[in-house]
């Protein structure tokens, strides 16, 4: 009888791609994939303390199940195995295996991929990062930048489109730096043009783009394409010049403002920017925080994730003094409220508009999808009442009717 296994996935889309290959590898080894699997593999996340805490919570839950004889085996993979290694076994002696199917020298496991997403698919174009952001553990966990051969990426995308995927989500740790290790300088724009030349009705979405890698040439490529959508995930982290300098963010504030201005000049409101912001970085005083708030009001970001600064061992900023926990909490709440208002406004802008929407899911009464302005799993969704059968995953023209409390939007077929 085949050993049945299940996988518990935590973290980012890069870890999801590694998880899809882990499942492919286990199936190849004759295991059977099942929600009731007694062999449990946990793909962990470890880039900040709260992610490690969440991973530990999940592991201890399964350790309890093992002690009760409900499961037989626990394997720990993902970033905890890269960041903590065997230490995790000291904390949980019940763990049977600590592994990682992507180490600091590889990019993708060479096992087949078992797809966990529908309609959209992540394509990891590189692994690791050569940036020196002073708060970040990723270069230490995932190693130096390693880019895939361009032909390898193009071949995978052609294959995925043949399988019927409608949205290619390009991911890495620092997308704009793609190819710098292989070709001596960043080759992302060249890769983007090559992908864009593959025929078909599908979307290309760009995630994890460092602001310093965005220039007019890239915006020209996006503007002239009917596949590369008017959306980009651009982690800016802060708006204060002093803080961005202390964060060692390449290009600093000048580049952050320049990029948003260029996008707004060229696309107006018809381009949605997603970003990540950190409050409470060491040295952030009232003036820096006020700058963050004022600039956020002025340079509207359409989709945001707000983080509290997390003091991480092995990072350059680890020994720097942070603003007190109470101050960080207050600032986190204040930015969160403002972000909520700005995102609601962005949704209001869509009411009455006709949008091309990728419908990927259905339940008893509704279909669910996303417009080009929403990335999978992190942004908002479009909900449509089920009044006729739709062939999914597929694109449909929708008229946006109204916004729900959770900022998802309701639409009707046009
Ligand atoms: S670019 Fe991103 S992944 Fe790389 S060091 Fe900076 S924050 Fe970390």
Out of 13, 48, 129, mutate this one to test ligand 1's pocket (max ligand atoms within 8 Å of CB): namely: 129
55 C-beta closer than 6 A to ligand 1: no
Indicate the burial class of 105 (C-beta count within 10 angstroms; 0-12, 13-18, 19 or more): exposed
88 close to ligand 1 (CB < 6 Angstrom) = no
Ligand 1 pocket, residue 119 CB under 6 Å: no
User: Which tokens sit at 390?
Assistant: 């739709």
At 170 the pLDDT is 98
Topology match between the domains 4-98 and 120-348 = no
Say what the pLDDT of residue 177 is. Answer: 98
Q: Write down the pLDDT at residue 2.
A: 62
CA 126 to each of CA 11, 63, 121, 171, 198: distance values in angstroms, whole numbers, following the listed order: 17, 34, 15, 8, 20
- HEC profile for 35-76? CCCCEEEEEECCCCHHHHHHHHHHHHHHHHHHHCCCCCEEEE
120-348 maps to CATH 3.40.50.1000? no
Query: Does the CB atom of residue 173 touch ligand 1 within 6 A?
Result: yes
| For the CA of 132, the nearest atom of ligand 1 | 5
CA–centroid distance, 179 to ligand 1, in Å, is 16
175 close to ligand 1 (CB < 6 Angstrom) = no
Q: In angstroms, rounded to a whole number, what is the distance separating the alpha carbons of residues 16 and 11?
A: 8
Listed by start position, the domains of the chain span: 4-98, 120-348, 354-413
Pocket test of ligand 1: the residue of 14, 131, 277 to mutate, having most ligand atoms within 8 Å of its CB, is 131
Is the distance from the beta carbon of residue 133 to the nearest atom of ligand 1 less than 6 Å? yes
Tokens matching residue 255: 């580049």
Q: Look at domain 4-98 and name its CATH class.
A: alpha beta
Distance (angstroms) between ligand 1 centre and the Cα of 46 equals 14
354-413 CATH, one of 2.30.40.10, 2.40.50.140, 3.20.20.70, 1.10.3720.10: 2.40.50.140
CB atoms within 10 A of CB 183: 13
CA distance 50 to 141: 16
Rounded distance between C-alpha atoms, residue 55 and residue 46, angstroms: 8
- pTM reported for the whole predicted model: 0.96
Tens of pLDDT, residue by residue, the chain (414 residues): 568 999 999 999 999 999 999 999 999 999 999 999 999 999 999 999 999 999 999 999 999 999 999 999 999 999 999 999 889 999 999 999 999 887 777 777 788 899 999 999 999 999 999 999 999 999 999 999 999 999 999 999 999 999 999 999 999 999 999 999 999 999 999 999 999 999 999 999 999 999 999 999 999 999 999 999 999 999 999 999 999 999 999 999 999 999 999 999 999 999 999 999 999 999 999 999 999 999 999 998 999 999 999 999 999 999 999 999 999 999 999 999 999 999 999 999 999 999 999 999 999 999 999 999 999 999 999 999 998 899 999 999 999 999 999 999 999 988
Whether residue 154 contacts residue 108, with contact meaning beta carbons closer than 8 Å, is answered with: no
């Amino acid at each position: 009888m085949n050993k049945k296994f299940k996988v518990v996935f935590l973290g980012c889309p890069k870890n999801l791609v590694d998880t899809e290959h882990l499942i492919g590898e286990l199936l190849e080894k004759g295991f059977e994939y099942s929600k009731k699997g007694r062999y449990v593999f946990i793909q962990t996340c470890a880039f900040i303390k709260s992610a490690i805490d969440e991973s530990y919570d999940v592991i201890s839950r399964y350790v309890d199940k093992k002690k009760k004889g409900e499961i037989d085996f626990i394997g720990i993979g993902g970033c905890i195995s890269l960041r903590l290694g065997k230490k995790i076994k000291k904390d949980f002696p019940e763990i049977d295996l600590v592994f990682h199917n992507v180490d600091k020298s590889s990019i993708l496991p060479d096992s087949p991929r078992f797809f966990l997403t529908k309609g959209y698919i992540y394509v990891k174009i590189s692994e690791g990062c050569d940036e020196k952001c002073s708060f970040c553990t990723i270069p230490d966990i995932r190693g130096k930048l390693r880019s895939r051969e361009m032909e390898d990426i193009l071949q995978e995308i052609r294959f995925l489109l043949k399988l019927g995927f409608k949205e290619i989500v390009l991911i890495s740790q620092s997308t704009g730096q793609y190819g710098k290790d292989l070709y001596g300088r960043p080759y992302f724009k060249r890769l983007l043009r090559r992908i864009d030349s593959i025929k078909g009705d599908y979307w290309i979405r760009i995630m994890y783009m460092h602001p310093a890698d965005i220039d007019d040439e890239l915006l020209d490529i996006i503007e002239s394409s009917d596949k590369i959508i008017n959306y980009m995930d651009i982690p800016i982290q802060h708006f204060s010049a002093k803080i961005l300098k202390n964060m060692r963010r390449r290009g600093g504030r000048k580049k952050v403002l320049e990029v948003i201005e260029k996008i707004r000049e060229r696309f107006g409101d018809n381009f949605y920017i997603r970003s990540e912001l950190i409050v409470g970085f060491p040295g952030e005083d009232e003036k820096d925080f006020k700058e963050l708030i004022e600039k956020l009001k002025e340079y509207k970001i359409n989709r945001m994730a707000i983080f509290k600064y997390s003091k991480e061992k092995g990072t350059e900023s680890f020994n720097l003094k942070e603003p007190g926990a109470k101050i960080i909490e207050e600032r986190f709440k204040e930015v969160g409220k403002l972000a909520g208002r700005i995102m609601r406004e962005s949704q209001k802008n869509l009411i009455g508009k006709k949008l091309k929407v990728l419908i990927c899911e259905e339940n008893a009464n509704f279909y669910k999808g996303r417009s080009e302005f929403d990335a999978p799993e992190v942004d908002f969704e479009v909900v449509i009442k089920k009044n006729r059968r739709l062939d999914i995953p597929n694109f449909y023209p929708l008229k946006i009717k109204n916004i729900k409390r959770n900022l998802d939007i309701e639409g009707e077929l046009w």
